[in-house]
């Protein structure tokens, strides 16, 4: 069973529908026992880093999520669900993350020149399709061409201390982390559930993943 973690801060319906489309047996749940019983969990996230982190604690789901990861079971984080894996987030102050990926989550500069027109600045948030360069060979990239397009909506991005944790990069003014991976953990800044065939293939690979 795949549990999409409902802690009040995620795009739950589209994520669960995408997982079902590729053959997943999916439940959306806010119950710690469903997280504990899951073979795979997906942690989506929409909104501000501190709000998502606080909601995860207040719903009593932080400990079962960490226990799932500690047990070596597959985990997939999406957007802020990826950002919370870092040590800290720098959005409206400095806030502690889960500390599973050493590093910090920082904002895009608001003064980045647009490469297509140097008379204007790139807009923040970064919203739309960008190519993702695969930074490591990983089972979740199987069947997905390097530099394929995925869909992003975000103003902040992770900076891992150890570049070995970087699973994918994209460009928005400068390179930034598009995906991270470590052991049984994989997470993306982009939204696979909004990324059409490439995103569905990534989720299909996740549900069959046995790290």
What positions carry a catalytic annotation?
79, 191, 193
Token look-up 């669900």 returns 81
- Give the whole-angstrom CA distance, residue 201 versus residue 204: 5
37: left (phi over 0), alpha (psi -120 to 50) or beta: alpha
- Give the whole-angstrom CA distance, residue 72 versus residue 82: 17
Whether the ω angle into residue 125 lies within 30 degrees of 0, i.e. cis, is: yes
- Give the whole-angstrom CA distance, residue 153 versus residue 124: 9
Q: What distances in angstroms separate CA 105 from CA 35, 80, 113, 186, one per listed residue?
A: 26, 10, 21, 16
Q: Please return the burial class of 83, using the count of CB atoms within 10 Å of its CB with bins 0-12, 13-18 and 19+.
A: buried
Please give the backbone phi and psi of residue 65, each rounded to the nearest 5 degrees, phi first. -65, -45
Q: Residues 192, 153: contact at Cβ < 8 Å?
A: no
């Amino acid at each position: 069973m795949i549990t999409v973690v409902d802690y009040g801060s995620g795009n739950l319906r589209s994520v669960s529908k995408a997982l079902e489309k590729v053959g997943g047996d999916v439940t959306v749940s806010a119950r710690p026992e469903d997280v504990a019983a899951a073979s795979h969990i997906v942690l989506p996230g929409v909104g501000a880093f501190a709000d998502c982190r606080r909601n995860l604690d207040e719903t009593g789901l932080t400990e079962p999520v960490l226990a799932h990861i500690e047990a070596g079971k597959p985990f997939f984080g999406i957007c802020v669900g990826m950002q919370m894996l870092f040590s800290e987030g720098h959005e409206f102050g400095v806030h502690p993350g889960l500390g599973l990926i050493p590093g910090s989550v920082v904002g895009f500069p608001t003064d980045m020149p647009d490469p297509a027109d140097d008379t204007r600045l790139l807009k923040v948030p970064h919203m739309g399709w960008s190519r993702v360069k695969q930074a490591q060979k990983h089972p979740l990239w199987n069947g997905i061409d390097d530099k394929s397009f995925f869909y992003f909506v975000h103003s902040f991005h992770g900076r891992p201390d150890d570049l070995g944790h970087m699973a994918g990069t994209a460009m928005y003014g400068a390179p930034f982390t598009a995906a991270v991976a470590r052991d049984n953990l994989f997470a993306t800044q982009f939204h696979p559930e909004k990324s059409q065939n490439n995103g569905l293939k990534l989720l299909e690979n996740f549900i069959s993943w046995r790290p």
